[in-house]
Amino acid sequence: MAQFIRRKKRFATAQTSRWDKMTSDNILKLKWYISKYTRDMPRSEIRLIVRKSFTMWSTQTIINSMPSVKLQFEEATYEDDADIVILWAEGDHGDAYKFDGTGNHTNILAHTFYPTYQENGRLNGDIHLDDAEKWISDSKGDGTSFPNVFIHEIGHSLGLGHSKRADAIMYPIYKKDMIDNASFDLDDKCALNWNYIGPTNLCLFVWLMSEVLPRQIEHKMNDYASGVDFNIIQRITEDGDSQSKISTLKEQLQAEERCEDTR
């Protein structure tokens, strides 16, 4: 069973979990397939968001004047041909990690399996979303913003963990901003390229600065040995209670840390 532990390192990417399909010229081609849709949004809208999210990862993660992984994504014609299978489900749904339903205290919206979750495993890289939640296609209205959650989940599917930089796509708390206005932080770019290309002085500097700058919050994530990322993503709305939500989450995480210290 997965445990939630505090991350001690930056750019620790699921025990160096990555796809082994990168070519000698740093091109990584992956196929995706949606096997089960939610009824909360039209299928055409879901597919548009998925394509746009993958395109953003392809176009915004290159670091100028440095060797970078070149991501290429395409839709598979059938599920067995896909590297990344995307689906919505509720409760028990065929893996070891059932969803907890809408409004539960853990607020798990999705979980994603890292590329090396299992040797030749069928779940590697797959993205599962809790269909008990109310999913919406933009940042307006009540519900969970699919674009904001999904673009974050792609990072986990590529082998990345959470970031401590509040402006990063891989930060575990999302703001309901329009995804069209989203941009990748240098931290996101460094995490990806550190994982697939290797360390650089620039990214080492980014990591060091991330460690010494003050944090808004501390966060938890699962034991990487399980190869699964559980997103306990707190919704930050514009209703004026953002700081109280952050404070509450921080208190919960600090309490968990105290419990872990006694084990």
Annotated binding site for Zn(2+): 93, 95, 111, 128, 152, 156, 162, 170
Tokens of 146: 């699919």
Q: Are 117 and 83 in contact, with CB atoms under 8 Å apart? A: no
Going by the annotation, the residues of the binding site are 40, 83, 93, 95, 100-101, 111, 126, 128, 130-131, 133, 152, 156, 162, 170
DSSP state of 214: P
- 116: Cβ–Cβ under 8 A, 6 or more apart, which residues? 14, 15, 17, 18, 124, 159, 227
Query: Which contiguous run of DSSP H or E holds residue 130?
Result: strand 127-130
How far apart (Å, rounded) are the C-alpha atoms in residues 191 and 204?
10
HSE toward the beta carbon, residue 91, CA cutoff 13 A: 1
Which amino acid, one-letter code, is at 84? I
Active site (annotated) includes residue 90:
no
Closest CA to 87 of 43, 51, 33: 33
Give the CA count within 13 Å in the CB-facing half-sphere of 79.
9
- Which H or E run includes 108? strand 108-113
- Catalytic residue from among 74, 153, 256, 260: 153
As annotated, the binding site for Ca(2+) includes 40, 83, 100-101, 126, 130-131, 133
- Check the CA dihedral 258-175-130-105 and report its sign: positive
Beta-bridge partner residues of 235: 174
Catalytic residue annotation:
153
